[in-house]
């Protein structure tokens, strides 16, 4: 590879990381709960991705990086060694009750299933991945107007379902 092409690849990777860092860090945070571990996971995935950057389809870079993060997290989990230290007295530790958070997530996942696949894709890309309308349109191969109208209908359907379930619970 000549020097100018190599420099172009490096600059392209730097630009990609600069523009997508926050989204990628959010994805890493979904994979590991500790914020510092999420940063380590992302950095490790970026280092591994950089080695193959010249062979990666740039339109699929996010998907490639997500796969690298998942594989890396799996490697870490497998390599983890449990270290138990015997103690005469157990520490007094309080545990946060995350029942409500899990219930909300379960409700959201259940409600999302009522949407058509295209609507679900638009909602996930626009609100979960926080892509712009144009990015979502490009990712799904549709016009920006179609993304907007699909998102509008999907959110209206989700609101109706939430209201219906609230009424059913009473």
114 and 72 together in one domain:
no
Closest-CA residue to 66 (of 22, 35, 24, 120)? 24
The answer to whether residues 113 and 75 belong to one domain is: no
Q: Give the integer Cα–Cα distance in Å for 71 and 87.
A: 35
Q: What digits encode the pLDDT tens for the residues 28-70? A: 998 888 899 999 999 999 999 999 888 888 888 888 999 999 9
Whether 33 is covered by a domain: the verdict is yes
Distance between CA atoms of residues 29 and 22, nearest Å: 10
Specify whether 11 is located in the same domain as 75. yes
Answer yes or no: do 109 and 60 share one domain: no
Domain enclosing residue 113, as ranges:
99-169
Burial tier of 129 (Cβ tally within 10 Å: 0-12, 13-18, 19+): middle
Q: What is the pLDDT of residue 6?
A: 54
Domain count, the chain: 2
Considering only CA atoms, which of 125, 170, 114, 113 is closest in space to residue 151? Answer: 125
State the pLDDT at residue 85.
67
Tens of pLDDT, residue by residue over 104-122, are 788 888 888 899 989 999 9
Question: Tokens for 106?
Answer: 């379960």
Instruction: Give the C-alpha distances (Å, rounded to integers) separating 93 from 29, 85, 90, 96.
Output: 24, 16, 9, 10
| Residue 145 Cα distances to 79, 96, 118, 136, 140, angstroms | 47, 43, 14, 11, 12
């Amino acid at each position: 590879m000549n020097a100018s092409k190599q420099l172009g690849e490096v600059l392209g990777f730097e630009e990609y990381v600069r523009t997508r860092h926050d989204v990628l860090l959010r994805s890493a945070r979904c994979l590991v709960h500790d914020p510092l571990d999420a940063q380590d996971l992302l950095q490790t995935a970026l280092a591994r991705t950089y080695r193959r950057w010249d062979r990666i389809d740039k339109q699929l870079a996010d998907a490639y990086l997500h796969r690298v993060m998942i594989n890396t997290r799996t490697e870490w989990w497998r390599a983890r060694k449990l270290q138990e230290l015997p103690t005469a007295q157990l520490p007094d530790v309080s545990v946060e009750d995350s029942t409500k958070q899990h219930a909300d997530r379960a409700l959201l996942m259940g409600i999302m299933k009522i949407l058509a696949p295209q609507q679900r894709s638009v909602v996930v890309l626009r609100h979960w991945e926080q892509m712009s309308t144009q990015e979502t349109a490009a990712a799904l191969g549709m016009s920006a107007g179609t993304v907007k109208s699909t998102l509008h209908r999907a959110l209206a359907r989700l609101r109706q379902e939430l209201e219906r379930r609230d009424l059913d619970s009473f």
